[in-house]
Every structure is written in C-alpha cells, then in structure tokens.
Amino acid sequence: MTAVLHLEADLTFDIETPGPDGAAGRQLRGTVQASGNRITIQTDDLMAVAGQPSRAAVRGMAEQLARLGLVVEVSGPDGTVVTMGAVRAHALQRLVTRSRHMRLGSWSQALRAVIARRPSAPGAVDLSSAGLPPGTPWPPVPLRGMPRVVTTTHDPVGGRGHPRLYLSDTSDPGADRRVGVFALPLEGVTIGSAEGSGLRLAGVDAVQAEIIRTDDDEYVLIARSTQVLTTVGGLQLPRQRLRTGSRIQLGSWRLSYVRDEFADHGRPYGGRIGGELGRQRTQPKPVNRSDQGF
C-alpha cells in the first residue's frame, strides 16, 4: 500500500530584523498555507531573503519534494516566483535552474531574485541576525538519503550572533517588572552607575563590571566592584565566560546573556548551559584559530 502524505497548515509569520546598534530594523511578514500535497509560501518582501539558501540546496530540496509528491509554491507581492517539487518544467527552464523539479513563475521575478542573491544587493536581509533559532531543515518531513552537513558553533568571522543582554530590576518584588534588551557592542561594554558607563544601571557601583570580547571570540564578564556583589550562575568569580543562558546578578539587577546558537561556541554544536546529563564530545578547534580555549 502506497503511503500518501497529506498536509494541512495555515500559519502567519512576522520577523523583525535588528538594525544598526540594536535599533529596530526591517519587518518581514508572510504566510505559509498547506492543503493536501501543496504548500504555498507568500511574503511581502521575497527579494530581501532570496539569497539565504544556496542554489545547490534549493535543487536538492526540490528533488526531495518531488520524491514525496509535494509541491511548494513560493510567491511575493508580484506573484509566483518559483514552484518546486512534483511539477513539470519546460526544457528552457530546466536549462536555467538545472533542475527538472523547479518551474519559474515569471522570468522578471526570477531575474530579480538572482540579483537579490548578490551579497552587495541593497536591502538584503541576513535572517541569522534576527535573533531567531536555527532553521528547520526543509522539507520538514522524514527523509532518506539526504545528507546533512554537520557544523560547529564557531563563528568563522567572529563577533556575530547578535550577543545581547536581557535585564530587569528586582529591587521591588511587587512592581511590574519590565525586561529590557541591550545589544552588546563588538568591543564589549562597561556596566555601572557612572555617567560614562556603556550600560548604566541605578543602584550599583560606579564601575560595577565589564564585558569584553577576547581574541578567541568569547564574551567574558569581569567583576570590577568590591562593594556590590557580582555573580554569574550564582558564582562569585573575578572573571567568567558567558554562554547563552548565563544568569548575571549585579546587585538588584538580573541579566541574562544570549547569543545566537551558530556563533556561541559552547558545548558541542549547541552553545548553551545545562541540560543533557550524559557525556558529550567536544568541538574541534575552529579553522585558522590556534587558541586552545576557543
């Protein structure tokens, strides 16, 4: 008996990508709808994300979709750009896409998408900077024979991954606690109550602590105050490396450090704190880096 895959979905997504210095950036909106074997993905700014997957990855995705009998239609404000999977493409289109499982919606839309793939294209958005978790491999169904590339959490460029602090004041337990977000500059930041502090907090020492970025692309918190307690994960140490989930306490201020997983360097292929009680393998040293602590 032949298995038939039947899909039903009606999703809306709204992504805000950060701008310079943590300011609000562009807004990407769209929908994902599925019925039977057909999936329709529509966004109001398709060209902004046209350069995300490689051409080889798209062709591989189209082939796997065809094997499963699925059809994915990707469209923007001006109509359908490409339909992939169990479709029939004309010979000329096969020549252009190098795949018999991809059918172009219009030549003008396809040309715009090719131009948008250039790194220098104006308005291109890097979704990795939006603070999102790693994407789900497509198609989101069990596959056989499709190789997956194993990666590490070493950022090859360094300093990326949108490192940030979520902070709140716990001095008044009964107050409506607001959580703020502070984007860490590449070079790090000083934290204190003094006017010149990069992150100014009331009720702590003039120079309470400092977060620096080391040569091996790690963010490290250094305690500077002897008057007000500074802890990371409950530990009071003069210097502590930060990982996603690190809980920092500066007097009455509670801060949480977060860095996107792909650049967080931490425990194998994860970059987080806690979880999984079993023994885990370590990551290999990153390419072109010699520091043993990287």
Per-residue model confidence (pLDDT) at position 19: 58
pLDDT tier, 294 (very low <50, low <70, confident <90, very high otherwise): very low
Lowest mean pLDDT among 16-20, 41-45, 245-249, 266-270: 16-20
- Same domain for 13 and 125, yes or no, is yes
Q: What is the pLDDT of residues 85-139, one digit of tens each?
A: 888 888 887 887 788 888 887 666 666 665 555 544 444 444 444 444 445 555 5
- Same domain for 191 and 243, yes or no, is yes
- Same domain for 66 and 109, yes or no, is yes
DSSP state at residue 195: T
Secondary structure in 3-state letters for 61-91: HHHHHHHCCCEEEEEECCEEEEEEECCCCCH
Token output for 145: 């024979």
* pTM, to two decimals: 0.49
Q: How many Å apart are CA 184 and CA 135, to the nearest integer?
A: 24
Element housing 199 (H / E) = strand 199-200
The total number of structural domains that make up the chain = 2
In a domain, 148, yes or no: no
In a domain, 147, yes or no: no
In a domain, 217, yes or no: yes
- Same domain for 62 and 124, yes or no, is yes
Per-residue model confidence (pLDDT) at position 263: 87
- Same domain for 122 and 204, yes or no, is no
pLDDT higher at 291 or 185: 185
Per-residue model confidence (pLDDT) at position 105: 78
Sign of CA dihedral 187, 190, 194, 198: positive
Per-residue model confidence (pLDDT) at position 127: 43
In a domain, 136, yes or no: no
What are the Cα distances from residue 82, in Å, to 93, 105, 106, 262?
Answer: 11, 5, 8, 29
- Same domain for 25 and 123, yes or no, is yes
Q: What is the mean pLDDT of residues 138-146?
A: 56
- Same domain for 48 and 126, yes or no, is yes
- Same domain for 13 and 103, yes or no, is yes
Token output for 122: 């104006």
Per-residue model confidence (pLDDT) at position 11: 86
- Same domain for 185 and 237, yes or no, is yes
pLDDT > 70 in the chain, percent: 66
In a domain, 285, yes or no: no
Per-residue model confidence (pLDDT) at position 129: 44
Per-residue model confidence (pLDDT) at position 130: 43
| Contact yes or no for 185/170 (Cβ under 8 A) | no
Identify the three-state secondary structure at position 33.
Answer: strand
In a domain, 292, yes or no: no
- Same domain for 88 and 187, yes or no, is no
Q: Which residues lie closer than 8 Å to 219 by C-beta, 6 or more apart?
A: 163, 184, 188, 211, 212, 213, 241, 242, 257, 259
Per-residue model confidence (pLDDT) at position 57: 72
Domain assignment of residue 207, given as a range = 164-263
pLDDT tier, 2 (very low <50, low <70, confident <90, very high otherwise): very low
| Contact yes or no for 274/245 (Cβ under 8 A) | yes
- Same domain for 121 and 213, yes or no, is no
Q: What is the pLDDT of residues 250-268, one digit of tens each?
A: 999 999 999 988 888 876 6
In a domain, 12, yes or no: yes
Q: Which of 70, 77, 50, 56 is nearest to 6 (CA)?
A: 70
In a domain, 83, yes or no: yes
Please compute, for residue 234, the number of CA atoms within 13 A of its CA located in the half-sphere on the CB side: 0
Per-residue model confidence (pLDDT) at position 200: 94
Q: What is the pLDDT of residues 210-252, one digit of tens each?
A: 999 998 888 999 999 989 999 998 898 999 999 888 999 999 9
Q: Is 18's pLDDT higher than 50?
A: yes
Per-residue model confidence (pLDDT) at position 253: 93
Q: What is the pLDDT of residues 47-100, one digit of tens each?
A: 555 545 566 777 888 888 888 888 988 887 777 888 888 888 888 878 877 888
Domain holding 175: CATH number? 2.60.200.20
Sign of CA dihedral 49, 52, 55, 56: negative
- Same domain for 120 and 11, yes or no, is yes
